[in-house]
Amino acid sequence: MGSSGTPDPRKPKISLASGFLPPPRSTAKWTVESMGVSAAVSPSPSNSSFPCSPQSFILILEFVDKENMTQVLGRISAFSEGKVGKGKKSEAAAGETSKGYFGHNFPLTVLEDFVQVHGGGGEGGKERGCGDGLTDGERDLLGICRKQELMGKGEGKGGGGGGGSKKGGGGRGRCLAASAYLIAYLKNDYATKQHELRHARFFLDEGYRSACLEAWARLSEKQKKYVSSFLSRLGYHEDVHVDEFQAFHLTEKANFWGIKVDVAWPASVVEGE
């Protein structure tokens, strides 16, 4: 906490559980932490009968090698980017495994949707012709998320970690997943870890997200155009430019953009830096 009592936006505060992935990826460590937020994610209208928890959670995965990280998270990240229209669309559309990624981040609602499409047990997968099953690494990840109650238990086959019942899924399960976020990075790559944590904060913390949008709005039109072009060249869709801008600007060196970009960050964003 800073002197004002604002949660440190860079990292979670309370470790709730930890462990390692099953062999052959047993060197990969996972940790579940609660994240202090100024305002939690709101439930969608269809889930209004299941109020979301005022708490938010983050699942942190630390891998020793990139190959294992890609095996567990590559397809899910590619699915996420293609589904929401962000990132490198061609890679996502081709179903490639994000081999060039040194970090991953996505809300657990993405994992739920991925399982529906690729798990092989749901009608969604059959309709799209994508019910090709989950890999062992994906099933291991799903099992951790369900055991730690970060998402609903789901239904049908191919879900890894057991079938479950309707009580564990549906609106309540969706709301659990909407309040949880996953990040992954390689061991000792703390710069990437901080970058991914910024994405988690942007998604989970409505107050933090609003402050970042406010800072973006204060940039000159010339600066906005320059930064957007810069991010587009990196392959990011315009829908995520503000999110990527705050994550890069707050974790990279001042010369990252190639020009000086003055940002009037609210105290709630830079507190704890």
Model confidence pLDDT, tens digit, residues 143-191: 999 999 998 876 444 444 333 333 334 555 567 778 899 999 999 999 9
Its pTM stands at: 0.77
Q: For residue range 57-95, list pLDDT tens digits in order.
A: 999 999 999 999 999 999 999 888 765 444 443 333 434
Each residue of 133-143: b (16+ CB within 10 Å) or e? Answer: ebbebbbbbbb
Tens of pLDDT, residues 221-271: 999 999 999 999 988 888 899 999 999 999 999 889 999 998 888 877 876
Q: Where are the beta strands (DSSP E) in 108-190?
A: 180-186
Q: Are 99 and 74 in contact (CB under 8 A)?
A: yes
According to the model, what pLDDT value does residue 46 have?
Answer: 38
CA distance 150 to 178: 9
Say which residue, 39 or 169, is predicted with more confidence.
Answer: 39
Q: Residue 10: pLDDT above 60?
A: no
CB atoms under 10 Å from CB of 244, counted, come to 22
266 cis-preceded (ω within 30 degrees of 0): no
